[in-house]
Chains A and B, each alone.
Chain A
Amino acid sequence: MLRYFCKTVSAHWRTNPVLYGLTVLGVALGVASVISIRILNQSAVASFAAGVRTIGGAADVVVTGKAGTLPDAFYPLVRGTPGVAAAWPVFESTVTVEGRPGTFARLLGVDLLAPSPELWEALSAFAPGAAAVGGRGWAAATPELARTMGWVPGDRFKVRDGAGVRELRLGALIDFERWGASGGGRALVMDIAGAQSLFGGAGTLHRIGVTAAEGADVPALAARIEERLGGRVDAVTPSERTGQARQLLGAFRLNLTALSLVSLVVGTFLVFSSMRACLVRQRREFGVLRSLGSTPAQVLALILGEAALLGVLGVVIGILAGYWTAVWNLDAVSSTLTNVYMLREIESLEVSGGTLALAVLAGLGGALSGTLLPALDVWRRDTRTLLDTLPARSAGTAVTRTLFRLGLLLVAGAVGWYWFIGWRWRLTGFVLSTAVLLCLPLVTPWLVQRLTGRVRVPDFGFRYGVRSLGATLANTSFSVSSLAMAVCLLVGITLLVESFRETLVRWVNRSLTADVFVTATVGARPGPNATLSPRLVERLAGGPDVEDVAPLRRLVLRVEGRRLAVVGVDLGRPAARRRLALLSSGDAVGRAVRDRGVLIGEPLSRGASVTVGDTVEIEGPAGPVRLPVSGVYRDYTQGGSVTMDLGLMAETLGSGSLTSIALVLRPGADPEAVAAGIESRYPRDSLRVRSNRRLKEDIFNVFDQTFAVTRILQVMSLIIAACAITLTLLVVAQEKASEIALYRTLGAFRRQVFLLFVSKGTAMAFLGLTLGFAGGIGLGAILIFVIQKSYFGWSIEWTWPWLPLAGEALAIVCAAVLASLYPAFRASRTPANELCHADA
């Protein structure tokens, strides 16, 4: 039998290389789609973790200020805490390299004389002498940054932060990561005093890294540091920071998870249908073998052996293709990480053992499991049936109806469970989504059978093609349900993204009504320690085009255990009342002013289970403060925010300068010109000045970049549509060669057969689209009303994005028609005497 196996495999390759090649390609594409996304996902997560290491250095504990920054004076206190072996202060900023917009670098100011032995050793090896490294403008760069920029030691270059352009001199190239010190892929390290002086942060630190003494209890040490500094700092371990980073990147990771799910569907489908296509061709051969005395087990072994062989080939090619796909998409994902989240980019792709195992599982497992059902079908059928040239229908109505009822029951059960119990559980949305996705393949066979069975056939055209789909129910259902699942995911995510965007548009339009926004910055980004001097505010308010000024003071504090923005505004101003989209009823703003309460964002309300009438605890610089909640407003920031009256803020959290102001201009004034005028007039102040239009653009750029990765979804759906239809029609063309020959004998032209197959492909696309849209609407509702609320606490208003949905539908139908062309061409070449061969 082994000899027969070898002979038959090589004969199959020789006689039908196209179909065999397609089968291997199908498996390879499936594997590639699964692992490429996984590689990107893992590499992104590794980058998050590395980003946390970058922020934390090799510290056991990282100390940051509750108000965002730390005064220099805290450093000796931290270093003197019992259990601290070493501590080093860090000043940090993010800069862009002048002349290279979009190239970010993390600038770190470190105390080169602090007991951070690895770093000191690294620096000394390249630039002996503290005087050299401490010189004004001296900076060490990572080799990667220098390579990207084409710098060599001794070069002078300029960097830009919010305050302006600074010139630095490259003193050394140091691979900081190699030394386990804080750095990252694109980093510049300077002496802390030089960095503070150059980048406008004298006396300010961003964190203090701490190494615990040997044998010290790290969590206890963190608690001791917090206590020693009077609760004005957060002392956290790197693992806690990783958790925070994961939370920060929630939306982005959700995207990648959705993509992984799609890729798994694509992969499994491609592998499954590729093997099925291959097997159909051999059905009669197995009949002959059985008639010659082979046992069913021998035939089963032959089928599975060949599947395994093709699977292995596909896995090998798929791993290579997947890796290159990940490389190809690296820039898109990487730029999102750096530009949106200010984390470092993905520097290297992580191909773990788990990823390779998944590739083998998806490819080989998919090939074998995809083969198993048709193989078992061959195994249980009698020899005569296998030899039939026109096999009968595959499934009866009773079976398909049972599956249909099971599908409905599954969804009804999931909804019922959610309604009574599951709503309390955070993962419940994923249970509902899975139920919707699994329902689709269960309801498809019966629906296809019913819909195609009801089609009247007036001619041998489109409707005959639709009707005959019911005759190949197993193939058709598989193809239609795979397509429906892909469309379902696509539609669901499109509904989520577009509804979210539309909600954001309304929210932004309501919140941002002023003409020009002026924000104080430290480095390139706004920070709680970046403030506007009262004199500057006065000058800006007195500008010739300025009619009114709305003040805002923003602090980052711990609220109910979460680090959130606490915003102070003048709640007495009508504009301030208008800009908050309140969810609670009544005059919440008036209540807040009257009762000395705060208004909280929806994510905080949901996350901390706090609502109107409750109180929230805010850890201010002078200690915790508890304030009543007067209202809840729509809020699309990560984790939420707190808004209070400026007066109350000064009373309870200490007085301080404003962090930004919004200018309302006189009628006829040009906001762009005013913004440009302020920037040029106050170049030494660290300001970010943006017109209303520019600010909105920036907000939507970030949004679009966050969800840009979903475009891969559209491409994948098209690939699914095309592959599903091509493979299914190729299977049908093989399986139904005798039937096509009969049509030809009875007088059907080649073009009629061609159009018949294109009709079948188009009909499958429409069936998949219809089912997918129905499922997608359900999935969209789950994503918007369940998952988003439970994960992010955001209320998103449902929107029908007709145009994007119509575009996607059109693209899928076009892909389906194109995908039908080759199988249709092959089918149309079926000679009429094929049928007579069967008789011979």
Chain B
Amino acid sequence: MDASALNFTDVSKVYDGAGSAERYALRDVTFDIAPGKTVAIVGRSGSGKSTLLHLAAGIDVPTRGSVAVYGAALNGLGETERTRLRRRDIGFVFQLFHLLPHLTVRDNVALPDLIAGVRERTYRERVAALLERVGLPDRAGDPVAGLSGGEMQRVAICRALLRRPRLLLADEPTGSLDDASGQVVMDLMLQMVAEEGATLVYATHSRELAAMADRTLRLHSGILEAESDASE
């Protein structure tokens, strides 16, 4: 078994600010997440939560330091290799769901396999099983436009989990939902992640949702201020 699911070592991300000033989105962040754990990243808006998730997903690269996913150092990988890693090992859930309106619920869930060139007969059952799991088996052929916010996020979770990623990243997954729906979605995501044996890292503003994680990382102005473990 791998030593860690996600490892950040002295990671800084710097953007060009006004004039010649540099703006740190993350500064010297170091942490290590064990496989199968659920970790909440908390902090105010602009604290660097989303940047951290982008770096973890390999859709952005750190200015300094190293990021490793299940032992694969993202710094050393080119664009294509990072995409390949993302395709194989990483799932992503967005705050605004980002379902494609011209595809049905089923096709939206199947999209990652479609992109990966997997044959339909291979993923057909998996898609059906996931939709069954989130309680939307009857909506498979519907367009996504008719779904509620909670339902859309459940479809998005199915899409993220389709290829059995070892690392699931979620950026404010309940940010667009009311409290009740948010709670349902969060419960479901945690259960499914546990069933799949994946590692979950999610960003949230909510203390309640953060409390559901095994561990919490608190960011403030790009600096990792505190860590807490649910077992503590």
A residues engaging B (CB < 8 A)? 389-393, 457-460, 464, 467-468, 470-471, 738-739, 742-750, 752, 831-833, 835-836, 838-840
Partner of B115, one of A460, A471, A833: A460
Partner of A746, one of B79, B115, B120: B115
Partner of B117, one of A390, A460, A738, A838: A460
Q: Of all chain A residues, which has the CB nearest B119?
A: A458
Do the beta carbons of B96 and A838 come within 8 Å of each other? Answer: yes
Q: Could you say which residues of chain B place their CB within 8 Å of the CB of A838?
A: 96, 98
Do the beta carbons of B114 and A745 come within 8 Å of each other? Answer: no
Do the beta carbons of B50 and A839 come within 8 Å of each other? Answer: yes
B35 smallest CB distance to A (angstroms): 21
Do the beta carbons of B98 and A747 come within 8 Å of each other? Answer: no
Q: Of all chain B residues, which has the CB nearest A840?
A: B50
Partner of A392, one of B96, B145, B172: B145
Do the beta carbons of B115 and A752 come within 8 Å of each other? Answer: yes
Does B224 belong to the interface (CB within 8 Å)? Answer: no
Q: List 10 A-B contacts (CB under 8 A).
A: A389-B96, A392-B101, A460-B115, A471-B101, A745-B59, A747-B115, A747-B163, A839-B95, A839-B96, A839-B172
Q: Of all chain B residues, which has the CB nearest A751?
A: B80
Do the beta carbons of A470 and B94 come within 8 Å of each other? Answer: no
Q: Of all chain A residues, which has the CB nearest B45?
A: A840
Q: Could you say which residues of chain A place their CB within 8 Å of the CB of B8?
A: none
Q: Of all chain B residues, which has the CB nearest A832?
A: B59
Q: Could you say which residues of chain A place their CB within 8 Å of the CB of B60?
A: 833
Given contacts A392-B101, A458-B119, A460-B115, whether A745 and B79 have CB atoms under 8 Å apart is no
Do the beta carbons of B92 and A745 come within 8 Å of each other? Answer: yes
Do the beta carbons of A468 and B117 come within 8 Å of each other? Answer: no
* Contact residues, B80-96 vs A (CB, 8 A): 80, 83-84, 86-88, 92, 94-96
Partner of B57, one of A390, A738, A745: A745
Do the beta carbons of A389 and B98 come within 8 Å of each other? Answer: yes
Do the beta carbons of A747 and B112 come within 8 Å of each other? Answer: yes
Do the beta carbons of B94 and A835 come within 8 Å of each other? Answer: yes
Given contacts A392-B145, A457-B107, A839-B96, whether A744 and B101 have CB atoms under 8 Å apart is no
Given contacts A468-B102, A750-B79, whether A745 and B95 have CB atoms under 8 Å apart is no
Q: Could you say which residues of chain A place their CB within 8 Å of the CB of B112?
A: 746-747
Given contacts A393-B101, A457-B107, A839-B50, whether A749 and B80 have CB atoms under 8 Å apart is yes
Do the beta carbons of A464 and B114 come within 8 Å of each other? Answer: yes
Do the beta carbons of A839 and B102 come within 8 Å of each other? Answer: no
Q: Could you say which residues of chain B place their CB within 8 Å of the CB of A746?
A: 86-87, 92, 111-112, 115, 159
A122 smallest CB distance to B (angstroms): 76
Q: Of all chain A residues, which has the CB nearest B120?
A: A458
Q: A390-B101, A746-B115 provided; 7 other pairs, C-beta below 8 A?
A: A393-B102, A745-B59, A746-B86, A746-B92, A839-B50, A839-B94, A839-B95
Partner of B171, one of A468, A738, A839: A839
Does B211 belong to the interface (CB within 8 Å)? Answer: no
Q: Could you say which residues of chain A place their CB within 8 Å of the CB of B111?
A: 743, 746
Do the beta carbons of A391 and B115 come within 8 Å of each other? Answer: no
Q: Could you say which residues of chain B place their CB within 8 Å of the CB of A839?
A: 50, 94-96, 171-172
Does B157 belong to the interface (CB within 8 Å)? Answer: no
Do the beta carbons of B116 and A747 come within 8 Å of each other? Answer: yes
Does B99 belong to the interface (CB within 8 Å)? Answer: yes
Do the beta carbons of A459 and B59 come within 8 Å of each other? Answer: no
Do the beta carbons of A460 and B102 come within 8 Å of each other? Answer: no
Does B126 belong to the interface (CB within 8 Å)? Answer: no
Do the beta carbons of A390 and B114 come within 8 Å of each other? Answer: no
Write the B132-173 contact mask toward A (1 if CB under 8 angstroms, else 0). Answer: 000000000000010000000000000100010000000110
Q: Of all chain B residues, which has the CB nearest A470?
A: B102
Do the beta carbons of B98 and A833 come within 8 Å of each other? Answer: no
Q: Could you say which residues of chain A place their CB within 8 Å of the CB of B102?
A: 393, 467-468, 470-471
How far, in angstroms, from A459 to B119 measured CA to CA in the complex?
Answer: 7
Interface centre among B84, B92, B119 (most CB of A within 10 A): B92
B121 smallest CB distance to A (angstroms): 10
Do the beta carbons of B80 and A742 come within 8 Å of each other? Answer: no
Q: Could you say which residues of chain A place their CB within 8 Å of the CB of B119?
A: 458
Partner of B100, one of A460, A742, A836: A742
Q: Could you say which residues of chain A place their CB within 8 Å of the CB of B172?
A: 839
How far, in angstroms, from A742 to B100 measured CA to CA in the complex?
Answer: 9
Does B54 belong to the interface (CB within 8 Å)? Answer: yes
Partner of A836, one of B59, B83, B88: B59
How far, in angstroms, from A729 to B119 measured CA to CA in the complex?
Answer: 28
Do the beta carbons of B116 and A833 come within 8 Å of each other? Answer: no
How far, in angstroms, from A752 to B95 measured CA to CA in the complex?
Answer: 26
Interface centre among B95, B96, B145, B171 (most CB of A within 10 A): B96
Q: Could you say which residues of chain B place their CB within 8 Å of the CB of A393?
A: 101-102
Q: Could you say which residues of chain B place their CB within 8 Å of the CB of A390?
A: 98-101
Do the beta carbons of B100 and A471 come within 8 Å of each other? Answer: yes
A465 smallest CB distance to B (angstroms): 12
Q: Could you say which residues of chain B place their CB within 8 Å of the CB of A750?
A: 79-80, 83
Do the beta carbons of B101 and A749 come within 8 Å of each other? Answer: no
Interface centre among A743, A744, A747, A832 (most CB of B within 10 A): A747
Q: Of all chain A residues, which has the CB nearest B159?
A: A746
A743 smallest CB distance to B (angstroms): 6
Partner of A460, one of B57, B98, B114: B114
Partner of B54, one of A391, A739, A833: A833
How far, in angstroms, from A490 to B172 measured CA to CA in the complex?
Answer: 55
Q: Of all chain B residues, which has the CB nearest A742?
A: B98
- A-B pairs with the 10 shortest C-beta distances? A747-B87, A471-B102, A832-B59, A392-B101, A460-B115, A746-B112, A748-B115, A839-B95, A460-B114, A833-B59
